[in-house]
């Protein structure tokens, strides 16, 4: 590498690592994400889960003996209901979890009922309150009990009785969840990493009047551009890594029970390697684009506002990965910077990545970065950009 590129890189890195305020702003997203997700996770957990020892309060009107035996066996004590209207109001007020209303003579009607006879089938009404987690849980338990009883009566055949018939492997389940969520999250983190450093370094130097000091030395403009972009990519990666770490640590807490039994340890070394290539080339593209946008701005604030449309674009691309249904197999798709990143990430996480696609992505992004460096160097040479009033 040319020594002046190295000099610029060294200076940029020294600036970031020497400034505590900048370091905080780089590492903060990760810490914030961890705290917020953990907090959200525990709050949501409280909201949706019911204490396992909790015994729901259930009232039943005209409870037939058959069902009474069932609920008894399931450990759901029921009380007889005197006033249906009053009981309904109690359910609404969340004072009562469940109300069952059977037709009189339920057992006899069931025994007499013949399917296809045209007669109305005997009915049971189950009242619950979906706003209450306890009521919701009780509803699920009781209806499944009733369903089981009903199919038991017909007893023509059973479906999935006592066998786990989900043939998806644990890998696939985890993979499809990760392929949904992670490209979007990763892209957002990489963007926020890049946007927390590039405006500072490009527009900031313009704003503070320090870039001209460098421009009167014989250093090539291209070397400044390359040095800056490499240094920014390193710092942006760090910032992105901090966000990613925060997420990885907090994700199990956020997902709570949903993550149980899902192993994150399902990707091979090859997957991680491909992912690293994708992330690196994505960061280069993002840093380059934000740097160029920043070079147009007079102040850091202005630069950040210029970069906002890019943020929206990155988020949209991330979301697009959620619905694409896996990575594209068409190599031409991988010629579009940023979109190719999302596609590759979905591919890696869903085990469908094609190494050729990653290669195309790395190549295209590399070429894009070079072009950007060229543009940035031209901009550094332009007095309209550097001395705009």
Partner 1 sequence: MSDILEVRDLTKTFRLSAKQQKLERTKQKLRVAVNGLSFTAREGEIFGLLGPNGAGKTTTLRMLATLIRPDSGDTFVDGKSIVREPDQVRRRIGFLTSELKLEDCFTPNYLYDFFSELHQVDRAVRIARKEDIFTRFGIDRFAEVKVADLSTGMKQKVSLAVSLVHDPEIIIFDEPTNGLDVLTARVVTDFLEELRDRGRTVIVSTHIFSLVEKLCDRVGILIDGRMVQCDTLANITRGESLEDRFFAIYKETAGEME
49 binds, among ligand ATP, partner 1, none (CB under 5 to 8 A by kind): none
218 binds, among partner 1, ligand ATP, none (CB under 5 to 8 A by kind): partner 1
Judged by DSSP in three states, 324 sits in: coil
68 binds, among partner 1, ligand ATP, none (CB under 5 to 8 A by kind): none
CB of 384 to partner 1, least distance (A): 9
| 336: region left, alpha or beta (phi > 0 left; psi from -120 to 50 alpha) | beta
Residues 6+ apart with CB under 8 A from 101: 60, 61, 62, 81, 84, 124, 125, 127
**Residue with smaller CB distance to partner 1, 114 or 383:** 383
Question: Per-residue contact track with ligand ATP, 330 to 369, x per CB under 6 A?
Answer: ----------------------------------------
Locate 219 and state its tokens: 């250093």
CB of 388 to ligand ATP, least distance (A): 7
- Whole-Å CA distances, 13 to 1, 69, 217, 273, 295: 16, 74, 20, 25, 19
CB of 293 to ligand ATP, least distance (A): 21
253 binds, among ligand ATP, partner 1, none (CB under 5 to 8 A by kind): none
4 binds, among partner 1, ligand ATP, none (CB under 5 to 8 A by kind): partner 1
Q: Residues 135 to 194: which contact ligand ATP by CB under 6 A?
A: none
By CB under 6 A, how many residues form the interface with ligand ATP?
Answer: 2
Judged by DSSP in three states, 309 sits in: helix
Count CB atoms within 10 A of the CB of residue 102.
19
CB of 377 to partner 1, least distance (A): 14
**Residue with smaller CB distance to ligand ATP, 330 or 388:** 388
Q: Could you say which of 118, 155, 312, 387 contacts ligand ATP (CB under 6 A)?
A: 387
Outline where DSSP puts E strands in 93-246: 98-102, 124-127
157 binds, among ligand ATP, partner 1, none (CB under 5 to 8 A by kind): none
CB of 358 to partner 1, least distance (A): 37
Residues 6+ apart with CB under 8 A from 375: 292
Question: Which strands sit side by side in the sheet containing 78-80, from one edge to the other?
Answer: 78-80, 58-61, 98-102, 124-127
**Residue with smaller CB distance to ligand ATP, 144 or 210:** 210
**Residue with smaller CB distance to partner 1, 7 or 141:** 7
209 binds ligand ATP (CB under 6 A): no
CB of 54 to partner 1, least distance (A): 58
* CB of 244 closer than 8 Å to CB of 31: no
What is the DSSP code (8-state) at residue 334?
A: G
Count CB atoms within 10 A of the CB of residue 216.
7
Interface with partner 1 (CB under 8 A): 3-4, 7, 11, 14-15, 18-19, 205, 208-210, 212-219, 383, 386-389
CA angle 318, 263, 250 (to 5 degrees): 60
HSE toward the beta carbon, residue 184, CA cutoff 13 A: 15
11 binds, among partner 1, ligand ATP, none (CB under 5 to 8 A by kind): partner 1
The Cα 373–Cα 284 span in angstroms is 10
**Residue with smaller CB distance to ligand ATP, 21 or 389:** 389
CB of 208 to ligand ATP, least distance (A): 17
- The number of angstroms, rounded, from the C-alpha of 44 to the middle of its chain's C-alpha atoms is 16
**Residue with smaller CB distance to ligand ATP, 323 or 387:** 387
Count, residues in the chain:
389
21 binds ligand ATP (CB under 6 A): no
CB of 219 to ligand ATP, least distance (A): 23
Which residue is associated with the tokens 């006899």? 108
Q: At what angle do helices 269-296 and 339-349 cross, to 10 degrees?
A: 160
The residues binding ligand ATP (CB under 6 A) are 387, 389
């Amino acid at each position: 590498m040319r020594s002046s590129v190295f000099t610029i890189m060294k200076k940029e890195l020294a600036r970031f690592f020497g400034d505590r305020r900048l370091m905080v702003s780089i590492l903060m997203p990760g810490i914030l994400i961890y705290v917020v997700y953990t907090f959200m996770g525990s709050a949501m957990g409280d909201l949706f889960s019911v204490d396992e020892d909790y015994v729901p309060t259930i009232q039943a009107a005209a409870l037939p003996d058959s069902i009474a035996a069932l609920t008894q066996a399931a450990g759901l004590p029921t009380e007889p209901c005197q006033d249906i209207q009053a009981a309904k109001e109690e359910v609404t007020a969340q004072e009562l979890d469940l109300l069952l209303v059977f037709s009189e003579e339920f057992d006899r009607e069931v025994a007499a009922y013949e399917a296809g006879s045209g007669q109305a089938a005997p009915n049971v009404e189950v009242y619950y309150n979906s706003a209450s987690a306890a009521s919701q849980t009780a509803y699920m338990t009781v209806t499944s009990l009733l369903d089981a009883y009903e199919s038991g009566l017909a007893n023509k055949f059973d479906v999935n009785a006592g066998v786990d018939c989900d043939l998806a492997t644990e890998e696939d389940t985890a993979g499809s969840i990760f392929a949904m969520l992670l490209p979007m999250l990763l892209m957002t983190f990489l963007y926020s990493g890049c946007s927390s450093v590039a405006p500072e370094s490009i527009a900031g130097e313009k704003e503070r009047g320090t870039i001209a000091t460098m421009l009167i030395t014989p250093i090539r403009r291209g070397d400044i551009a390359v040095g800056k972009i490499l240094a920014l990519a390193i710092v942006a990666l760090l910032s992105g890594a901090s966000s990613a770490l925060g997420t990885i640590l907090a994700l199990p807490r956020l997902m709570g029970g949903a993550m149980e039994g899902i192993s994150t340890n399902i990707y091979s070394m090859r997957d991680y390697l491909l992912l690293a290539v994708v992330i690196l080339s994505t960061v280069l593209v993002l840093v380059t684009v934000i740097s160029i946008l920043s070079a147009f701005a007079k102040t850091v604030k202005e630069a950040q506002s210029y970069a906002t449309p890019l943020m929206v674009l990155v988020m949209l691309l991330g979301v697009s990965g959620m619905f694409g249904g896996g990575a594209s197999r068409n190599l031409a798709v991988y010629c579009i910077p940023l979109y190719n990143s999302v596609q590759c990430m979905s591919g890696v996480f869903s085990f469908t990545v094609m190494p050729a696609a990653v290669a195309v992505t790395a190549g295209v992004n590399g070429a894009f970065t070079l072009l950007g460096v060229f543009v940035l160097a031209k901009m550094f040479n332009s007095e309209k950009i550097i001395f705009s009033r």
